[in-house]
Chains A and B, each alone.
Chain A
Amino acid sequence: MNTIFLYSLAGLATLIHNWLGKFISSELGLHILELAIIGLSLIVFLVLLCFFLGYMERRVAAFMEIRLGPNRVGPQGTLQIVADTVKLLFKEGLTPNSSDKFLFNLAPFIMVIASMMAIAPIAFAKDFQIYDINIGVLYVSAISSISVLGILMAGWSSNNKYSLLGAMRSGAQIVSYELSVGLSLISIVILSGSLSLGDIVLSQQNGWWLFKGHIPILISFVIFIIASTAEINRAPFDLAEADQELTGGFNTEYSGMKFAMFLLSEYINLFIVSAIAATLFLGGWMPFHIGGGPSSFNHIMDLIPSSIWFLGKTFTIIFIIMWFRWTFPRLRVDQLLNLEWKYLLPISMVNIIIVTLIAIMGWHF
């Protein structure tokens, strides 16, 4: 009984549903209440996740930079980020006089909403998914492109020259890199034959696509990691912020909680990108199996809960993206666009053709 509970969290959802049903008779009311519970728990989860990612980033940075990082507030400095959030909460949320006040205040919300919406189709564990929308991959890539709107709004409405330059850069960057992200996602869609993230995970039951899809999928995995790092504006592609050139770029004029919201959305985006990469290429919550290997090994792998598998893969990719940030210098704006249009895009296009060929001929495992 215990092991079954570990493997499927569907039981938990049914349990809560039945328990709430005792108190609320109307079907519609029950649905609304459940939606509210899901929404609230999601927001709490994401905020806690961002606390953790903020802490992780600072410790990873410290590790790369031969220093200690936060280690005073709470055990091993874990509460440092809480202290920082409290500080940001009490800071004055300045709105510059010459700014477009409505857009200026709206921009951080758009950023956060766009990031949070993209979490819906992600499968956190077996049978534990908010909404297995049948066009999941398309939905995520569509929602994630809304964030460019937030950056452009923030940059334009600040009425600051640095912010405007940052927004300009970010517009060009996100629109171009979306192509490569999309094409590398499509290569998995071709192989698995479904846009639903749930189905894509299930299609990797006998091996992850990274292993099953030969070298072309390896290439599209690398392209996905590079292009999505650029799409979420993280170093070495953080041209929209570019502290040393544009003194913070699009968020130069923001302070207090409004600034924190940009950080929040950056970390949620980081998580989503890594979760999508883990789901599509590394099998999501599927455990690691050796095909034809000793069954005892595969059985031990099965004992590890599926959520651990999913989070483990996701955080490995997050660590790699953080690793980029603390080791590479920043690209220049023309080099950034050259990288996309001259290298990544042609490679992904050829790659797509090869993947299609593999799928048609059935050469994949």
Chain B
Amino acid sequence: MRGLIEENIITEDGEFILNIGPQHPSTHGVLHLKVWLDGETIKKIEPHIGYIHRSIEKMSERLSYRNFIFATSRMDYLAAHINNEACALTIEKALQIEATPRAKFVRTILSELTRLASHQLWWGCTGLDLGAVTPFFYAFREREAIMAIMEETCGARLTQNFMVPGGIMTDIHPNFQQRTKDILEQIKGKYKEYDDIMSGNVIFENRTKGVGYLSKEDAISFGVTGPTARASGVSCDIRKWNPYSAYDQVEFDEILSNGGDCYARYQVRMKEMRQSVSIIEQLIDNIPEGDFQEKTKMVIKLPKGEYYQRVETPRGELGVYLVSDGSANPYRIKYRSPNFSNLSVLPAIAKGYKIGDLVAIMATIDLVIPDIDR
């Protein structure tokens, strides 16, 4: 007994210490969770982060205002467009210019396509984490089609670098509109399939209903944002509260739920996919003609001051806080990343549940680890 305590296998109270990660199938990256167990029941969780810290914020201080944007594609790699957009919007705010109408529309369409692709991947991984392998392949069928559109338009599938200060880097590909419409039709036809294999499954419902309850008060006090917070009834959609790009010109609903459990988070994301489809449908035929990029100087110098811009990524609120000293490089950049705040709530809501539930909770919070460490 003493030996086991000294080797850090059990604690003085007889709790079993399990290190989940940094390499573990369901942490989706290099997250390390130190878990204190009583049998299968979780007594305490301590997340250890920093395994994929690349100091993107510090690196950006040595890059020009045109270049630092592209480092953000590597933060939340499932929402590269949206990260880039946040930075581009910050610079535009500082320069007091606006992107051209055409660029605004394309930005919104690409952001929503990114959200769709991200939610598809999340849906597949949730199935995988709960032990059903098949949804993963179903999700990738649609996600691949979206990735193909991205590839054609911006040349990259995952770490796209397309949003620049003043608009978008190049004009859209001639096939863009038609292919986007095709994928929307395809996704609309697959909702029933998704519901059949996952949402309506009795085992899935038992695994997620009433598991990992996050109250509205906790969600606010931990700074949780995105679908995770909206599933607890917190209205926090930046697209509604602080519209940017073309979001003020489209009709869509902010999906709210009062469930607060894994099932509510699941349903909120499933409904958000439908909203994204509807947003793109409203925009895709109405992309205005004109320039795709506002003229900016070759070397951008921002006026001295502090600037803040926030956008809605698939996982929540991404804030870019930029301090300029008037030179060609940012003085300081701080990202308020959604995953860091969302991870902070995990120890609070997973306590008292089983190991299987921990996996379900992590899946429905939808963590992307490189965004936590940056």
**Chain A residues close to B by CB (< 8 Å):** 61, 64-67, 161-162, 165, 169, 235-236, 238, 242-247, 326-335
Contact = CB atoms under 8 A, between A and B. Distances in A.
Q: Which 10 A-B pairs have the closest CB atoms?
A: A330-B131, A329-B130, A65-B137, A329-B132, A332-B356, A244-B26, A329-B131, A244-B129, A329-B203, A329-B204
B132 A332 contact: no
A65 B124 CA distance: 12
A160 to B, nearest CB: 11
Contacts of A66: 137-138, 141
A328 B356 contact: no
B203 A245 contact: no
Contacts of B354: 332-334
A65 to B, nearest CB: 4
Contacts of B9: 161
Nearest to B358: A245
Nearest to A333: B40
Contacts of A243: 25, 131
B344 interface: no
B284 interface: no
Interface in B11-63: 16, 18-19, 24-26, 40
SS of B interface (majority): helix
A82 to B, nearest CB: 24
B132 A327 contact: yes
Contacts of A235: 131
Contacts of A329: 127, 130-132, 198, 201, 203-204, 207
Given A332-B356, A333-B354, A335-B206, A327 B131 contact: no
Contact of A161 (B16, B198, B359): B16
B246 interface: no
Given A161-B16, A331-B203, A67 B355 contact: no
Contacts of A238: 131
A245 B138 contact: no
A247 B204 contact: no
Contacts of B40: 165, 169, 333-334
A328 B9 CA distance: 34
Name the residue among A165, A242, A330, A333 with the largest chain B CB count within 10 angstroms. Answer: A330
Nearest to B23: A247
A97 to B, nearest CB: 14
Interface string B289-331: 0000000000000000000000000000000000000000000
A329 B357 CA distance: 13
A90 B203 CA distance: 40
A161 B20 CA distance: 10
B134 interface: yes
A327 B202 CA distance: 12
A326 B133 contact: yes
B25 A327 contact: no
Contacts of B128: 244
Contacts of B207: 329-332, 335
A238 B131 CA distance: 9
Contacts of B359: 244-245
29 contacts: A61-B133, A161-B9, A161-B16, A161-B18, A161-B19, A165-B355, A238-B131, A243-B131, A244-B128, A244-B129, A244-B131, A245-B356, A247-B24, A326-B134, A327-B132, A327-B197, A328-B131, A329-B130, A329-B201, A329-B207, A330-B130, A330-B131, A330-B132, A330-B207, A331-B207, A332-B356, A334-B40, A335-B203, A335-B206
